[in-house]
Amino acid sequence: MKSLQARHALLADTGYQLTVLSQADAAGAHLPAFAHKLRETGLLPLRPTSLRVMQINVGKMCNQVCKHCHVDAGPDRTEIMTRETMQQCLAALAQSDIQVVDLTGGAPEMNPDFRWLVEQISALGRQTIVRCNLTIIVANKKYHDLPEFFAKHRVQVVSSLPHFSAARTDAQRGEGVFGRSIRALQMLNEVGYGVEGSGLQLDLVFNPSGAFLPGNQASLEREFKQRLLREHGIVFNNLLAITNLPVSRFLEYLLESGNYESYMEKLVAAYNPTAAENVMCRSTLSVSWDGLLYDCDFNQMLELPVAATAPQHIRDFDEAALNARAIVVNQHCFGCTAGAGSSCGGATT
Amino acid sequence: MEKSTYYNPADLAKFGNITEWQPEMGNKFFAYYAEVFKDGALSEREKSLIALAVAHAVQCPYCIDAYTSDSLQKGADEAQMMEAVHVAAAIKGGAALVHGVQMMNKAKELSM
């Protein structure tokens, strides 16, 4: 499987994705506008609460090509953050109260300056989260010491494992990914990750491997903990249940499998006003590989930048102007407000 | 045009409408229903798999649709779901076969 971009697919064009999301269904009916739902809930315009997390997407290069990837990441993607842009992120951090830096990609570890960036964030006394796809740890000898490196900098590791069965995991993330992920999890456990009392946090992400919503997060966590311990001797801290948003390759999957309309209807029917109040974009700033600013990683991938009243690039970081902005919303946002709510930190209610 | 079949998938989403003609009983049923499927001595996933098996036993297309989605949502995999269907099949098949004892008893009673 290749990225949408490498296949020159229509959906590689974000304008086309937004057109699909705003179209009527086969019967001519339009879904309610997300903005209209927010207005009903008294949340329009959607405003930030306080800036707590800077999520930096350090590049789209990845060793995996997952079917549901909203980044359209893969080995063929060359967009990568330079050290100069990282320095601009660090300068912004230094002048703000943001305590958490969430590093994502692609596989963030494939950025040649990844370790340097983590060291600098540590030196600023801020917490780093890395969204590690697990298989990168065993992909090449030069990554085998990542668990030790993460432990040294007390990095919080957040990793996708959509299922405790190999078949369901491989169906979403590629042939053989489950086995390699299990090996990587064991390596993380060996240095103390996920082990009680170690202070080294290892969280797993459950993404549905298909056109359905995640179930109860606590219940899934119990199930995952039992199965992974019994079958592979693996321990971890929290399971984060994240809803797949209709963006990029997951949107392609929905359209090609004939599930698009029913999935969108499911998201809309499950709209939860409490989840809407708690959406992560109210406390997050998303920075792209080229330093541009977005309200979240999904808006970034749809090329919907922060409102024009706010700075557009990290070099012009201005916390007050960002806190006063109106968050940009669109139809994909129904994914974060469905059911128990969804964010990079799992359920929000 | 209205589909001329007894079962229409779109009707599943209208299940809640049964309260329109008898709100008190309907609402009590749905409150009970919601309570039944909560995490308890059995996990939500286990209850969903039992529901999936029963759905096959009672041959309800709505329930099969609903509890296939629900089982996936609750984290069940294909092997677990198919084993649940086999449990239903074994009990349904066994229920027919166990009456074979009754047949044998009667045959023996009538035979020399």
pLDDT tens per residue across span A76-118:
999 999 999 999 999 999 999 999 999 999 999 999 999 999 9
A221: pLDDT confidence band, cut at 50, 70 and 90?
very high
Please say if the pLDDT value at position A173 is more than 70. Answer: yes
Residue-wise pLDDT for A42-68, tens only, equals 999 999 999 999 999 999 999 999 999
Mean pLDDT of A185-213: 96
Contact residues, chain A to chain B, C-beta under 8 Å? 163, 165, 167-168, 206, 208, 210, 212-216, 218-220, 222-224, 269
Residues of chain B with pLDDT under 70: 1-3
Residue-wise pLDDT for B73-94, tens only, equals 999 999 999 999 999 999 999 9
* Domain membership flag for residue B9: no
- A11, two tokens: 């959906």
* Domain membership flag for residue B62: yes
Number of domains in chain B: 1
User: Beta-strand (E) ranges in chain B?
Assistant: none
A280: pLDDT confidence band, cut at 50, 70 and 90?
very high
Q: List CB contacts (< 8 A) between A215 and chain B.
A: 44-45, 73-75
* Domain membership flag for residue B8: no
Q: Which residues contact A47 (CB under 8 A, 6 or more apart)?
A: A282, A324, A325, A326, A327
* Domain membership flag for residue B10: no
* Domain membership flag for residue B15: no
Q: Which residue has the tokens 């128990």?
A: A340
Q: Which of B39, B73, B77 sits opposite A165 (nearest CB)?
A: B77
* Domain membership flag for residue B59: yes
Q: Tell me, what's the pLDDT at A25? A: 80
Give the largest CA-CA distance in chain A. 57
pLDDT, mean over chain A: 96
Cβ pair B72:A208 closer than 8 A:
yes
Cβ pair A223:B77 closer than 8 A:
no
Q: Residue B76: which CATH number?
A: 1.20.1290.10
Cβ pair B43:A218 closer than 8 A:
no
Three-state SS letters, A73-139: CECCCCCECCHHHHHHHHHHHHCCCCCEEEEECCCHHHCCCHHHHHHHHHHCCCEEEEECCCHHHHH
Nearest C-alpha in A relative to B75 = A220
* Domain membership flag for residue B53: yes
Domain span at residue B68 reads 21-109
* Domain membership flag for residue B11: no
Look up the pTM and report it: 0.91
Please say if the pLDDT value at position A346 is more than 80. Answer: yes
Residue B72 touches partner A, C-beta closer than 8 Å: yes
Q: Which residues contact B21 (CB under 8 A, 6 or more apart)?
A: none
Residue B40 touches partner A, C-beta closer than 8 Å: no
